[in-house]
Amino acid sequence: MKVIELKGLKKTYYLEKIDVPVLHGIDLEVEQGEFVAIMGHSGSGKSTLLNIIGLLDKPSEGSFKLAGIEVSKYSDDELASLRNQYLGFIFQQFHLLPKLTALENVHLPVIYSNSKDESHHENPEKLLKLVGLEDRMDHRPNELSGGQQQRVAVARSLVNKPLIIFADEPTGNLDTKSTKEIIKMLRDLNDSGITIVMVTHEPDLTAYATRTIKLQDGVIISDEKTRPADAGKDKRGAQELKHKVFSASRIKDYFAEALRALAGNKMRSILSILGVMIGVASLIAMLAVGTGAQKAIQDQVSSLGSNLLTVSPGATQRGGISSEAGSRMRLYYTDIADLKRRVPGISGIAGYASGRVQAVANGKNYNTRMDGVSIDYFSIRNSFPSSGRVFTSQEDTEKQKLVLIGETVRQNLFPDGRDVIGEYIKINRIDFQIIGILPVKGSSGYRDEDDKVVIPLNTALNRVFGTENLSNMDVQVKDGADMGEVSDAIISRLLITHRQTDRESVRVRNMAEIQETMSSMANAFSLLLGSIAFISLLVGGIGIMNIMFVSVSERTKEIGLRKAIGANNADILFQFIIESIFVCSAGGLIGIVAGSGGAVLVSKIAGWTTSITPFSVILAFCFSALTGLVFGVWPARKASLLDPIDALRHD
């Protein structure tokens, strides 16, 4: 069987400015079982010819049949499969992958073969024994001599049971002793039926071949058979080429290769992971803070109820110009009863007079907020004391010095935790009797709701603040009543009783509006934080892309070798993308942990509410994996599109 048939084969390199014709019409037939030595001066086109018949390069012109099949009709991927299944390569520079052990190097072509079935390939350990390296299996190439490295390469070329072995000056970098060993091995392989095509410029070696071809300036000038060749036993033909099938085991292999590559460059991998980690950690932490703020606002606002109107004196300034004195309405105690009587749709009104006060008790001094409140306060704010009682409206009218204290105030003034109902505290030097403890409301995100005291409104106005003016009022609207109508009616009524005309002198705000404003603010806040985090992830991603490009160009030779032994474009693409996705996902996972830790820390230190939702965790993880994909695709594509022979020649 003719394994190689060349007719009028030409090769011209088309450079930018000039064309370099290298092969000028080669006619050559090689029978199965031959051992062909190609001789010739340097630059005569030997390697070019070998690369073409080894399917690493393509001819410019002419016909080439491999094992009876015209190969010009094959696609790149099919050529890769052909190389993997039928051809073995031995290079002058050995081309072993430096990070892999001898055994792993020998095994490499199996990864790219269609069948992992034992019967379709040789056992790598057996092959290493065959080349006399049984005690060097776990050594890396840099721990082996040149001769040993080339023996590993010979073992590698055999692992997929090749029909033909191509060797380009396999002994060019070896000493005399190693040269003998290698050429002896090739001879033995030929004796066992494998066709061998070897380029050499050492005339001695032609003695091992069955045929010697001399090349000069791209033409064959002599062709002599030196001894008879055994017809090979291998009866496979290229027609039997099987297409690569995609299987799950392949993903496993890509993954293993990606892991190996990353482990081979630990520092770089760790830094890349760190970059993504920071991005993801900030994404998680920012989302936690943002959603936490939103939740805190929602909780606070919903605790107030959406059927509340707040009435407060209007703005003293309008349009940047100060209004005339008196245009700002004052709210009086009597307005509470008046509005309740005259405006329909109101179920309760709480008037307030608030300010900071100094509370002294038990030898302790504590600054807190005081709310003077009218009696409806307790029902409107759902703030009935957890122990003790509320004051009565009569006690309010009589300006009695009674106080309900919040939990934070109690803890600060009475840290011993004793029952303090009935005891006295001084508020701004006035003695007040404690009649109740306010229910615990907790922190509202930025303010401790338990850090306050509550006293009757009249007492606050007359005894503490010495004023007639309320700070503001909460108006609770009856179920079913229209908020807008009630709000208008309140303003109209107040204008009448206060003999004023300017509707802007009093401000009535709807809780639902406040709720909306606050949540839209919180949304904007989250969005801002989220975009900062997104940008840092983007930066991490670009870092990954940069590193991947560096990695591709550093590993160009490796890519060339992988392609030479049968990896197709998809194999290389996947390997690099998986590498990038792996780095990003690892960074993502660590980032999620770090970000969550950061969020917990923020809530501990700053007292902010933070909230880590499963959604934000999944989002962050998917985002990091996606970053790996998006920023890995371009470099991976560049790697996959490399031409095998260009990549191998790269230095």
Encoding tokens for residue 469?
Answer: 């003016």
| Rounded Cα distance, 237 and 86, in Å | 9
| Rounded Cα distance, 420 and 434, in Å | 7
Tell me the closest approach of the beta carbon of residue 64 to ligand ADP, in angstroms. Answer: 16
Nearer residue to ligand ADP within complex by CB, 40 or 598:
40
Tell me the closest approach of the beta carbon of residue 192 to Mg ion, in angstroms. Answer: 27
Assign 400 to helix, strand or coil.
coil
Q: Does 93 bind Mg ion (CB under 5 A)?
A: no
| CB-count exposure of residue 203 (10 Å: 0-12, 13-18, 19+) | exposed
Nearer residue to Mg ion within complex by CB, 50 or 258:
50
Residue 640 interacts, among Mg ion, ligand ADP, none and using kind-specific CB cut-offs from 5 to 8 Å, with none
How many Cα atoms are found within 13 Å in the side-chain-facing hemisphere of 480? Answer: 1
Residue 272 interacts, among Mg ion, ligand ADP, none and using kind-specific CB cut-offs from 5 to 8 Å, with none
Residue 45 interacts, among Mg ion, ligand ADP, none and using kind-specific CB cut-offs from 5 to 8 Å, with ligand ADP
Residue nearest to ligand ADP (CB): 47
Q: 604-628 burial, b if ≥16 CB within 10 A, otherwise e? A: eeeebbbbbeeebbeebbebbbbbb
Nearer residue to Mg ion within complex by CB, 503 or 649:
649
| Rounded Cα distance, 263 and 265, in Å | 5
Encoding tokens for residue 403?
Answer: 């106080």
Cβ atoms < 10 Å from Cβ of 566: 26
Tell me the closest approach of the beta carbon of residue 628 to Mg ion, in angstroms. Answer: 40
Q: 121-138 burial, b if ≥16 CB within 10 A, otherwise e? A: bbebeebbebbebeebbe
Tell me the closest approach of the beta carbon of residue 19 to ligand ADP, in angstroms. Answer: 9
Tell me the closest approach of the beta carbon of residue 42 to ligand ADP, in angstroms. Answer: 4
Tell me the closest approach of the beta carbon of residue 647 to ligand ADP, in angstroms. Answer: 12
The C-alpha R_g of the chain, in whole angstroms, comes to 43
Nearer residue to ligand ADP within complex by CB, 169 or 335:
169
How many residues sit in the footprint of Mg ion (CB under 5 A)? 1
Q: Which stretch binds Mg ion (CB under 5 A): 45-53, 217-225, 372-380, 490-498?
A: 45-53
Residue with tokens 């936690």: 288
Nearer residue to ligand ADP within complex by CB, 39 or 494:
39
Residue nearest to Mg ion (CB): 47
Tell me the closest approach of the beta carbon of residue 47 to Mg ion, in angstroms. Answer: 3
Q: Does 47 bind Mg ion (CB under 5 A)?
A: yes
| Rounded Cα distance, 18 and 21, in Å | 10
Nearer residue to ligand ADP within complex by CB, 223 or 253:
223
| Rounded Cα distance, 377 and 173, in Å | 95
Nearer residue to ligand ADP within complex by CB, 22 or 584:
22
Tell me the closest approach of the beta carbon of residue 572 to ligand ADP, in angstroms. Answer: 21
> Which residues of this chain interact with ligand ADP, rule CB under 6 A?
13, 15, 20, 22, 40, 42-48
Tell me the closest approach of the beta carbon of residue 281 to ligand ADP, in angstroms. Answer: 47
Residue 13 interacts, among Mg ion, ligand ADP, none and using kind-specific CB cut-offs from 5 to 8 Å, with ligand ADP
| Rounded Cα distance, 368 and 454, in Å | 11
Q: Which stretch binds Mg ion (CB under 5 A): 40-48, 147-155, 361-369, 401-409?
A: 40-48
Nearer residue to ligand ADP within complex by CB, 121 or 214:
214
Roughly what angle, to the nearest 10 degrees, separates helices 569-605 and 248-263? 60
Residue 18 interacts, among Mg ion, ligand ADP, none and using kind-specific CB cut-offs from 5 to 8 Å, with none
Encoding tokens for residue 396?
Answer: 């309010």
Residue 43 interacts, among ligand ADP, Mg ion, none and using kind-specific CB cut-offs from 5 to 8 Å, with ligand ADP
Residue 321 interacts, among Mg ion, ligand ADP, none and using kind-specific CB cut-offs from 5 to 8 Å, with none
Amino acid at 16: E
For residue 1, give Cα distances in angstroms to 83, 192, 211, 568: 19, 16, 16, 28
Binding site for Mg ion (CB under 5 A): 47
